Structure 1
């Protein structure tokens, strides 16, 4: 009996040593695990997918970003466009060209240290990138001619009207009274533009509240944006939880209001 007790007592220090060894081993491995997690996050954010916040109402009601509501956080996948270009109807996130950036203000701190931390955080996706990332819908691609409107007020691409059930809010267009040929033109109208190769004509779903390609038609690209500026295709609403799901045309969206109408 005495030998058994002595044996049990002698094992206790050994267990403590093993536990201490495991703790030291974990502490040594922790920095490596953190670095691996950060590298994986960087790779995922750069090459696979990234989450973006919708900051404005230009895509209402497909994507929420209106004043007084919770802006959608969307997942933007980056793999698909490595094997093909954006297509008509895709909702994409892109970097605004220079002429689109007049109102953009940096979201970085004026403090050099904090700004450096923010830049590092941006690499791993915990801080938004300091760039004018916008979300709109592809209406026409390189070589296509886009204009508005036909006699029903629809956008034409290569002479064919688009069926756009996602557009709920647009400027008034009244056949015979307020069209593209009446003395007072509808604000919906814009002149034909042939999209340069390698570029895209972009429009927001909230047509009368979107500073899109129509707004920048006087720039060197006639309002189009280079495909090289595309960050990826918006596929999923991640937050808020009440709107989580794939990005689709709303089934029963509310009628919004255009300014001045």
Structure 2
């Protein structure tokens, strides 16, 4: 394109002869498609490189996750795209009380053996990688309320959840609901989590699986990552800051063998 522009400037003062004009036209016809092929090939390579980069980023670093239900209102709304930090728990740290996590519920919230049509699963996963489709039915987003060793009870006289004997002021809860309409008193096993939605009357969470194998606990190794940001829509761009609701909850004393003292 630069060469063609220079030729145009250079030839402007002259009136070309008919033969020269025809020659230039033939030359343009020959070089035009070649230039187009180069441009298309370059664009194709750039597109492939960008796609590979996004796929790798989504697989190992940050993955968009589309919120499919009202279970986490008002923190997260239907249609929000959260960015899930997959490195949050990769270097020795684990989920903490108050974290909003995305996890694979197979074996805890969804029975083993539930499968999706391979073709539709591949298409959905491809779109979900870019946050353009709802997640798999086995993927969930909830808030961590209890970690390994915690005793979680609901509810106290004030209608609050207690963790290790301390009532939790869950200011993030949906104003139309309560801490829980379902009473429970559980101890979270080591390597597991007790999770609940912020909209308790509209959330199927650990409480709904109390009588099932695993007792509603989510294995830590099933956690995909921590939801750290709302990336879409633009009007809801924000970080999901950690909550201080569990600041007064004491840690449970553990013996060297992993038991409780």
* Structure 2 partner of 1:195: 188
Q: Contact conserved, 1:153 with 1:188, CA < 8 A, in 2?
A: no
Structure 1 outlier segments of 4+, above 6 Å? 8-16
Q: Contact conserved, 1:122 with 1:129, CA < 8 A, in 2?
A: no
- Among 70, 73, 80, the alignment partner of 2:81 is 73
Q: Deviations over 1:11-70 (max 9, x none)?
A: 7766766654432222333443332222112101111112222222211111123xxxxx
* Structure 1 partner of 2:148: 142
Q: Contact conserved, 1:97 with 1:225, CA < 8 A, in 2?
A: no
* Structure 2 partner of 1:214: 207
Give the aligned length.
224
* Structure 2 partner of 1:27: 40
* Structure 1 partner of 2:225: 232
2:89 is paired with a residue of what secondary structure? helix
- Among 151, 157, 163, the alignment partner of 1:151 is 157
Q: Contact conserved, 2:68 with 2:134, CA < 8 A, in 1?
A: no
Distance 2:182 2:128 in 1: 40
Q: Quote the offset at 1:212 in angstroms.
A: 1.1
Closer/same/farther in 2, CA of residues 98 and 116 from structure 1, 3 Å limit? closer
Distance 2:75 2:161 in 1: 19
Q: Note the aligned Cα RMSD (angstroms).
A: 3.4
2:64 is paired with a residue of what secondary structure? strand
Q: Quote the offset at 1:229 in angstroms.
A: 1.4
Q: Contact conserved, 1:118 with 1:127, CA < 8 A, in 2?
A: no
2:208 is paired with a residue of what secondary structure? helix
Q: Quote the offset at 1:151 in angstroms.
A: 2.6
User: Could you tell which deviates more after superposition, 120-129 or 39-48?
Assistant: 120-129
* Structure 2 partner of 1:242: 235
User: Could you tell which deviates more after superposition, 152-161 or 119-128?
Assistant: 119-128
Q: Contact conserved, 1:171 with 1:207, CA < 8 A, in 2?
A: yes
* Structure 2 partner of 1:101: 110
Closer/same/farther in 2, CA of residues 43 and 197 from structure 1, 3 Å limit? same
- Unaligned runs of 5+ residues in structure 2 are 1-12, 243-261
